[in-house]
A and B are shown apart, each in its own frame.
Chain A
Amino acid sequence: MIVPRHYKEIPQRYRLQGNRCKACGRVFLPPRKICPCGSEDLEDYNLSWKGKILTFTIIRVPPAQFKYQKPYAVAVVELEGGGTIQCQVTDTPLEEIEIGKEVEIVFRKILSEGEAGIHCYGYKCRVV
């Protein structure tokens, strides 16, 4: 049953709701309680829905829930205004995916829990 976990992560997965260190300005998603700089003074911060690909990999042997999507890419995206996220790349042919390419973050269905369980939504990115 993934309902409780999905429910708890809704702010992060639906709205990119993370936090930012008031001392050094670093941005985190998921939010952290303590910044690596040592500060515990962090504020809520909604990350940007625009960014660029920092790095990526192609998944050719995916977990069972993603088997009908193969091959697909997972990227680390550096967002405008700070913070990085890791997400699937959607709506983009694999040959178009390159480091440094501009992406927009989109709201998509990440997975469905079997035939009768919940749909879990969250963020992915696509090349602009």
Chain B
Amino acid sequence: MAVGIIGYGAYVPRYRIKVEEIAAQWGDDPEVIKRGLLLYEKTVPAQDEDTITIAYQAAKYALVRAGIDPKEIGALYIGSESHPYAVKPSGTVVAEALGMVPDIHIADYEFACKAGSEGMFVCYSHVKSGNMKYAMAIGADTSQGAPADALEYSAAAGGSAFIFGSDEDKIIAEVLYTYSFTTDTPDFWRRDQQMYPQHGGRFTGEPAYFKHVVSAGRNIMEMAGLTAKDIQWAVFHMPNGKFPLRAGRQLGFKKEQIEPGWVVPWQGNTYSGSSPNGLTATLDSAAKPGDLILMVSFGSGAGSDAFIFKVRDRINEVRDMVPKLWDLIRGKKFYLTYGQYAKFRGKIHLNPNV
């Protein structure tokens, strides 16, 4: 039985901040940042946006493309490291708002930047096992980056939703292979009640991101008996612009195979929604029926989930049904000053009595 994505959607906020604006605040050279990280601007959530509202909008678009009754969805998993509550699920709000309750299994996932692909992994397995007809996974974040930290240039907001199913006439991208590569690697973390994460600086590169992403990519391609020449498009987790291109090179991919999903220079790192947004951007733009897509996520701590998808004819029917991610990234947007950005992100200590 073939199982695949039968509906997908992505969302990013309208607000942006440019690298120049952040660099001016902290005395950095913006050209060095842009050249070093291949980042130009990032999305910023409005004051009334959070992981729940972003997940909702992505899921709403996914439901339009799937064309199914929301009540037929058996599970909803939202992966994020910025769930609005420490205790109370994000998924219940989204499911209630989209009319998916009460016959549904819901859980919030967390595994740094790969919490979204974790949900995809489990949803695929639910449908594959015959446990349920449809299952929805969402990766969404309003990422935290400490002021003046290098992360502040990349930590962004956005996410994607995917509905998995096995209806032959509904599959947009069939899952051919899955694989996961995981070790205990403390490259990035946030302790309980801490506002901002900590990271191991350069340690986040070779022993963490590259080891896991490249191993997962290499192993799933070996499992499938495929090389980079057999796969049309590749999506890797995008903590900055440079890392996914380098990981792709190590696996034999050319920049042109990565570019359709390489959204990070203009949206930033949407954490749990990073590689998911790369996948939606690829489906939205370059993917043609018959194409293969490799997707490899990365979550600090650390692990990578890998998928090989085969695109089906239905992509051409559903692509234009809702706003496409590249259109949201390039469309209506408002640039913030650093002061406005600091207010939006709750970085200013306020006096509740004023």
Contact = CB atoms under 8 A, between A and B. Distances in A.
Interface of A: 10, 14-15, 68-69, 88, 90-91, 93, 106-110, 115, 118-119, 121, 124, 126
A108 B14 CA distance: 14
Contacts of A10: 96
B187 interface: no
Contacts of A115: 352
Please classify the interface of chain B as helix (H, G, I), strand (E, B), loop, or mixed, using the class held by over half of its residues. Answer: loop
B157 to A, nearest CB: 13
A90 B53 CA distance: 13
Nearest to A110: B48
Nearest to B60: A107
Given A108-B53, A119-B84, A124 B48 contact: yes
Given A14-B97, A15-B97, A121 B334 contact: no
Contact of B48 (A14, A15, A90, A118): A90
13 contacts: A10-B96, A68-B47, A68-B343, A68-B350, A90-B46, A91-B13, A91-B15, A108-B46, A108-B49, A109-B49, A109-B50, A121-B93, A124-B48
Interface string B59-90: 01000000000000000000000001100100
Contacts of B52: 109, 119, 121
A14 B53 contact: no
Given A10-B96, A15-B99, A107-B97, A121 B46 contact: no
B56 interface: yes
A91 B46 contact: yes
Given A109-B53, A118-B88, 4 more contacts: A107-B57, A108-B53, A115-B352, A124-B48
Contacts of B60: 107
Contact of A119 (B14, B46, B50, B96): B50
